[in-house]
Amino acid sequence: MAWKLAQSPRKPELYCAPGNAGIESIATCAGIKADDIAGLKDLVVKEKIDLTVVGPEAPLALGIVDEFRKAKLKIFGPTKNAARLESSKIFSKDVMAKAKILTAKAKSFDKTAEALAYVEQHELPVVIKADGLAQGKGVIIATTREQARRAIIDSIDKAAFGQAGKQVLIEQFLDGEELTIMAFTDGKTVAPMLPAQDHKRVGDGDTGLNTGGMGAYCPAPVATASLCAQVTNEILVPIVEAMSKMGSPFQGVLYAGLMVVKGTAYVLEFNARMGDPETQVVLPLLKTDFLEVIEAVVEHRLDQLTVEWHHDAAVCVVMTSGGYPGPYRSGMPIHRLPPHTTRSTMVFHAGTARRGNEIVTAGGRVFGILGRGSTLAEAQREAYRIVKSISFEGCHFRTDIAHRALGA
């Protein structure tokens, strides 16, 4: 997002908190945590910053938008109440039910015994979800009763996801193809972005543990014109209208995580911000100035702007620390980083830091490597060309990103 804002013809001066070793090349990095709302507000006032753009979910759930608006500071993102679409899966299900939006059948529980009794009768596989924010790790697809029981006990009794898992949602498993469609919205107008598909599992062939995302590609061929129309008219517009009717208009980026079952899209989850790693393949294809779009959203005039897109394809391959999504080591020196980017490749830093003259790993997901081309196959080739040139101890990446589209 910082990279895309830096490309604006208006040449904005950027500050980023906390930033990383990649962002420091385009923005002034402030050593303030993303959830330190008081610290962020002080920075904005001190530096006379005109507009704040929120990236992650935690500050939204804590009410950063409400706090900034109270102080008459311009900010892009939904209020705390509107962000509950992401911060509470149970709340999200309730709103979807009222708005008659297609989603998996589900029931919520806060008592272990009741949840265990219910899951004994549920067909398998069954999905167990922590109600709150769990950094993409609070969803367990249980294929056996024992796995389901363990997931419930771990979440409610053993607090595997902290307070986020004190309530769980037990949900019907939908078998199909996952799809992400994000949209800009000012609470009235909805401007859908290009459809993308991410790869959640850590291993090739969609095997292994769920992660925050191992890669993505855009556009996703599963998203036909008629399917995109269904998503806009039967999911995105109704949920935005429902939130407005509740007195919590949603303003910012609405992320719909979908499952396509026999040509129909069902909602798996809503997020209240741009998704990772889908953003790395969607934003590079945005033709309209990103800053113009953000300002149109904040000023409730999205209906006066036509959001345009390039007709290219993009693939992002995520490089992770060894062991991710489990325990991993940080501080590994990174070798052979490309000295510059091109129109067809970009290295997006995620978990990196600067140590003296070298850049080292500082997180589970270290890089998102973008390849862009006139076709998905060309974009995939470009991404892997860069991936194979970079190395650090324990480095892991999937070798089959975009396989569903390319049949590899």
Element (H, E) at 93: helix 89-98
CATH 3.40.50.300 holds for 111-166: no
Find the Cα–Cα–Cα–Cα dihedral 81, 83, 86, 92, rounded to 10°: 40
CA distance 40 to 51: 12
Contact call for residues 255 and 225 (beta carbons, < 8 A): no
- Mention every residue, 6+ apart, whose C-beta is less than 8 A from residue 309: 193, 194, 285, 286, 287
CA distance 288 to 311: 13
CA distance 222 to 404: 9
Q: What's the pLDDT at 408?
A: 52
CATH 3.40.50.300 holds for 177-287: no
Domain 2-80, CATH? 3.40.50.20
Which amino acid is present at 209?
Answer: L
Contact call for residues 68 and 77 (beta carbons, < 8 A): no
pLDDT tens track, the chain, 408 positions? 999 999 999 999 999 999 999 999 999 999 999 999 999 999 999 999 999 999 999 999 999 999 999 999 999 999 999 999 999 999 999 999 999 999 999 999 999 999 999 999 999 999 999 999 987 678 899 999 999 999 999 999 999 999 999 999 999 999 999 999 999 999 999 999 999 999 999 999 999 988 889 999 999 999 999 999 999 999 999 999 999 999 999 999 999 999 999 999 999 999 999 999 999 999 999 999 999 999 999 999 999 999 999 999 999 999 999 999 999 999 999 999 998 788 899 999 999 999 999 999 999 999 999 999 999 999 999 999 999 999 999 999 999 999 999 985
CATH domain 313-406 topology:
Glycinamide Ribonucleotide Synthetase; Chain A, domain 4 (3.90.600)
CA distance 218 to 263: 18
Strands 126-130 and 139-142: antiparallel
Q: Which of 405, 303, 363 is nearest to 22 (CA)?
A: 363
- Mention every residue, 6+ apart, whose C-beta is less than 8 A from residue 139: 127, 128, 129, 130, 210
CA distance 172 to 65: 34
Q: What tokens appear for 246 in the block?
A: 């509740």
Which residue ranges make up each domain of the chain?
A: 2-80, 111-166, 177-287, 313-406
Contact call for residues 250 and 78 (beta carbons, < 8 A): yes
Contact call for residues 249 and 157 (beta carbons, < 8 A): no
